[in-house]
Amino acid sequence: MEERISAHGHKHVSADHASTFEVTTDDFLTPAGDCILAIEADRAPADFDPEFVDACQDAEATITATVEVGGMSQSVTGSGHPDLSFESDRSAVVRASDHVDDRTVTVNADHGAIGIDDEIVDALAAGTELTLTLEVE
């Protein structure tokens, strides 16, 4: 089962954050947003199918977040958690920690934004389109 989000890169994408990366529906990005990979997302966690949400709330679930940009892709694997609510209508956050809030879509991920390939980050900083696919098993 999967969900997809489409968004746009921005000149301030730096991907320097160690423990998270984020895709947001906001239409702006400041240099301080070092975890944000893309803006103007077409969907947020609140839009996800209830069956997908239920599957992600299983602590044994494996959630793979795949970032696709300009013909390049990179996957990050994390875990489900019973407290994932998927209530945010603004942002989807992949976390390397076990912190959960309404924006969190997976916990205990392999890495945050800083682990995203430099070529992908450069393409996002040039404004390239991003697709984030979240798949739960």
Q: What is the CATH number of the domain that holds 71?
A: 2.60.120.630
CA atoms 13, 16, 17, 18: torsion sign: positive
Residue 136, pLDDT score: 98
Residue 75, pLDDT score: 98
Low-confidence stretches of the chain (pLDDT < 70) are none
Work out how many domains the chain is built from and give that number. 1
Residues near 50 by Cβ (< 8 Å), separated by ≥ 6?
none
Alpha-carbon distance of 121 to 87, in angstroms, equals 27
Residue 84, pLDDT score: 98
Structural domain of 78: 2-136
Residue 16, pLDDT score: 96
Residue 25, pLDDT score: 98
Q: Minimal CA–CA distance to 7: which of 58, 68, 97?
A: 68
Whole-model pTM over 0.85: yes
